[in-house]
Amino acid sequence: MDTILEIKNLSVEYQVGKKIIPALKNVSVSLNRNDSLGIIGESGSGKSTLGLSILDILPKEAKISSGEILFHNQNIFRLNKKELQNLRGGKISVIFQDPLSSLNPVIKISEQLRETLKVHNEDSSDNKIKELLEMVQLGNFDRIKNSYPHQLSGGMRQRIMIAQALASRPEILIADEPTTALDVTIQKEILELLKKLIKEFDLTMIFITHNFGIVYDICSRIAVMYNGEIVEEGKTSEIMKIPKHPYTKALISVIPKAGQKVKKFNVI
Amino acid sequence: MLKIYLEKLLRNKLAIAGAVIIIVLVIIAIFAPVVTMHNPLEGNILERLQAPSKNHFLGTDEIGRDVFSRMIYGSRISISVGIIAVSISLIIGTFLGLISGYFGGKVDSIIMRFVDIMLCFPSFFLILMVIAFLEPNIYNVMIVIGITSWTGLARLVRGETLTIKERDFITAARGLGLRKRRIIFVHILPNVISPILVSSILGVGAAILTESGLSFLGLGVQPPIPSWGNILTSGKDYIHIAWWLSLFPGLAILITVLGWNLLGEGLRDVFDPRTN
């Protein structure tokens, strides 16, 4: 199998005032074509930082202190401006957690999609935008075309984010907790949509989440992060069967299972 | 979005009052030759210092020119100085504020320290100094007011930019491969436009006041071209015998500045998400 993304010994630190806080410590992980890797961990474990560093879009306070990220054997930290811009949203796309705050509130939906298409030299006609929206199962083009983000529901906005991310037919899609901010029913719909699109677009996927249930459903491999380190990595089925790290065990124990009686919570 | 703002604006009585004052003034300024009956530059010395009458609504000045005509033509000066000076400061302030806020670090330090230095000088003193080196005429007055009054706006825009650039959609825009220039001017600028608009409209009032002050001191618009400031100057010597020479230009300045301020404050309320 060919490896398309390889993260080697990556360390990232955040500088807060004079304090230096390590966010990632020597993280190494690699991704084969058509893999879907679930990165799972609690808040502050560094999983989102890992996602942002793959596109080199970390905030200013963050510093990459060591390591490299190879995309098709090319270190992305050595790319020039133009190559980096082609990579971002072109070869590698990202979907963020909160679909409301990830769309610009003062620009119409259709213009935001058009912008992405233009940046990556794709056809940016109304027809193409309509096609993109249909791809994410948003049919009512005439209404959505002239809408601003706040006029749409959370699920619709997340679909638009997905359309935007896939506009340039990327090879890798990074989904940073794409369903956390949504209702459970909408979560399911979005996950089904993602699954369908992964097949359609032949995508390699990195799925960042803190929800083991979702990972089990969608990912073939799992990396568990704890305190900035990958503490366990392997095939989903194996990790689910024999979790080694105590944090992994704890995560698996809280997955609600169908048919299982819920223990009564003791109320004082 | 625009519709909501417009409805809010129409419900705000003070803002409407301000807008009406400004619109009336602009219309009068544009149609000055139609509104006035006398030439503002030529007077009849025999009719000097006449009190307001049917022929001369606001009386005549010390060389017999019609004060009403002079004031109407003077409004052209005030309004154009206000708008052009503010446009200049708007462009400089917005641009430097955006750059400073977005890039941060050294660029930010340099621009903001420069702003601090500018703010150390009383701005009127700064304007006087520059005008003293240049020729005092209407164009220089516009430019000088413009290039000395952008500092507050730059700070305001910088502050807004700092909060907007931390928002997720900016990270998302970077993640989509957009250029910095595009992120700054297409994604950040429209999000900071409302405070810019409010501050600029308030700024027009301030600029008109500064122009009047400069003309009053003889460093602005030069006689015989009429401006509210220099009508006031000639009026001050005759204040005991010709009150109309000082009162009417003073009132005109007051009402105009009030109009811009009311509109500015009204817009601030309209853009404030806390008011409904």
Q: So what's the pLDDT on residue B57?
A: 78
Q: So what's the pLDDT on residue A59?
A: 84
Q: So what's the pLDDT on residue B26?
A: 93
| B262: confidence class by pLDDT, cuts 50, 70, 90 | very high
The whole-angstrom separation of Cα A253 and Cα A247 is 10
The whole-angstrom separation of Cα A96 and Cα A39 is 14
Complex-level ipTM = 0.83
Q: So what's the pLDDT on residue A257?
A: 67
CB B112 within 8 A of CB B229: no
| B188: confidence class by pLDDT, cuts 50, 70, 90 | very high
Q: So what's the pLDDT on residue A178?
A: 85
The whole-angstrom separation of Cα A81 and Cα A76 is 11
Contact yes or no for B177 and A115 at CB 8 A: no
Q: Going by C-beta distance under 8 Å and a sequence separation of 6 or more, which residues neighbour residue A23?
A: A12, A13, A14, A46, A49, A62, A228
| Stretch B208-224: mean pLDDT | 86
Per CB-CB distance under 8 Å, the chain B contacts of A107 are 186-187, 190
Q: So what's the pLDDT on residue B94?
A: 96
- What chain B holds in terms of domains, given with CATH numbers, is 2-35+77-271 (1.10.3720.10)
Q: Where are the domains of chain A?
A: 110-168
pLDDT at B4 over 80: no
Q: So what's the pLDDT on residue B58?
A: 80
Give the closest of A84, A86, A101 to B168, CB-based: A101
Q: So what's the pLDDT on residue B275?
A: 62
Mutation for testing the B interface, residue in A82, A94, A103, A106 having most B CBs under 10 Å: A106
A43 or B30: whose pLDDT is higher?
A: B30
| Percent of chain A's residues with pLDDT above 70 | 95
| Percent of chain B's residues with pLDDT above 90 | 39
Per CB-CB distance under 8 Å, the chain A contacts of B169 are 101-105
Distance set, CA B55 to CA A41, A216, B245 (Å)? 86, 92, 16
CA A145: distance to chain centroid? 26
Contact yes or no for A105 and B168 at CB 8 A: no
pLDDT at A268 over 60: no
Both tokens assigned to A133: 């929206």
Q: Is A9 helix (H, G, I), strand (E, B) or coil?
A: strand
The whole-angstrom separation of Cα A103 and Cα A105 is 6
A126-135 and A109-119 helices, crossing angle to 10°: 100
A154-166 and A126-135 helices, crossing angle to 10°: 120
Q: Is A170 helix (H, G, I), strand (E, B) or coil?
A: coil
Q: What is the C-alpha end-to-end distance of chain A, expressed in Å?
A: 56
| Stretch B7-19: mean pLDDT | 87
A204: left (phi over 0), alpha (psi -120 to 50) or beta: beta
Contact yes or no for B176 and A60 at CB 8 A: no
| A262: confidence class by pLDDT, cuts 50, 70, 90 | low
Q: Which of residues 102-161 of A touch B (CB under 8 A)?
A: 102-107, 115-116, 119-120, 148, 161
| Percent of chain B's residues with pLDDT above 70 | 99
A239, containing H or E segment: helix A236-241
Full 3-state SS string of chain B = CHHHHHHHHHHCHHHHHHHHHHHHHHHHHHCHHHHCCCCCCCCCHHHCCCCCCCCCCCCECCCCCEHHHHHHHHHHHHHHHHHHHHHHHHHHHHHHHHHHHHHCHHHHHHHHHHHHHHHHCCHHHHHHHHHHHCCCCHHHHHHHHHHHCCHHHHHHHHHHHHHHHCCHHHHHHHHCCCCHHHHHHHHHHHHCHHHHHHHHHHHHHHHHHHHHHHHHCCCCCCCCCCCHHHHHHHHHCCCCCCCHHHHHHHHHHHHHHHHHHHHHHHHHHHHCCCCC
What is the value of pTM for the model shown?
A: 0.84
Both tokens assigned to B129: 């100094």
Q: Is A182 helix (H, G, I), strand (E, B) or coil?
A: coil
Q: Is A228 helix (H, G, I), strand (E, B) or coil?
A: coil
Chain B interface includes A247 (CB < 8 A):
no
Helix, strand, coil tally for chain A in percent (to 5): 35, 30, 35
Q: So what's the pLDDT on residue B88?
A: 95
B58 or B151: whose pLDDT is higher?
A: B151
Beta carbon pairs, A and B, within 8 Å: 72
Query: Which parts of A109-211 fold into alpha helices (H)?
Result: 109-119, 126-135, 141-145, 154-166, 184-201
Give the closest of A88, A104, A161 to B187, CB-based: A104
Chain B interface includes A23 (CB < 8 A):
no
| Stretch A231-256: mean pLDDT | 83
